[in-house]
Structure 1
Amino acid sequence: MVLLWACGTEAPPDVPFVPDYPTWDEHIRPFLAEHCVLCHGERPRNGAPSEFRLDVYDDVGAQQGARSMAPKIAEVLERGKMPPDGVGVGPNARAMFRRWAELGAPRSPCTPSCEGRECGDDGCKGS
């Protein structure tokens, strides 16, 4: 995670590059843990809604986890609505979350045995 500073003003949180295949384990969870989970965790804080949690991948009871929320997370970040301090997140972070949602919010990286085929959480897809 890279945090940039310019002229004494804090720049929005961002990542150094947009991974081709962002995953929960490698890219999304660390970003959320650093910038979002304080409010959007097991116990919501600072007026955060309780219908979802960003500290877990899967749904927990009636609360949606990050996987279910992936398209909404990408949309909210794209619109600059979070974090609520008005800074939003940087362009690479927005692109990373958008790509993660487009890919179906994969949890783990592809394995070498998936070579030449589309990778998904349940292993390789396609022929």
Structure 2
Amino acid sequence: MGSLPSQGPRTLSGFYAYVEQGAITVQASAPTKCLPGDLREVVGDIAAKFGTVSIESTHRTAGHNWRAGGARHSLHLSCRAIDMRVHSRTRGLMAYLRSRPEVGGLKIYRNGLIHIDNGERRSW
């Protein structure tokens, strides 16, 4: 049996590279591996263009979603939504997010938390 050729060291790119560099921070209670790649890509692009991003919430159990005041059919239940904060310059951020076809749901809450998901295009 032959062996596979060595591919050398793997380097992280995109979302996970920004996590490793600290440009994206993730709450321990917010898994990211379940997120669709298109949403991870959007968050990586936000970190590159606007500065540090803190991911506060991704997947939620039904109980957690209820306690958080989430909608009954929230996309957090299927790990298709992200609540985050952007800590640097945010001028133009909402327009940028509206321009991204990957972003369906978009909401900025009074406390500065930004929700994005990959559902139908909507805001509330």
Q: Give TM-score scaled by structure 1 length.
A: 0.26
Structure with greater strand percent? 2
Q: Which has the higher contact order (CA 8 A, sep 6+)?
A: 1
**Larger Rg: 1 or 2?**
2
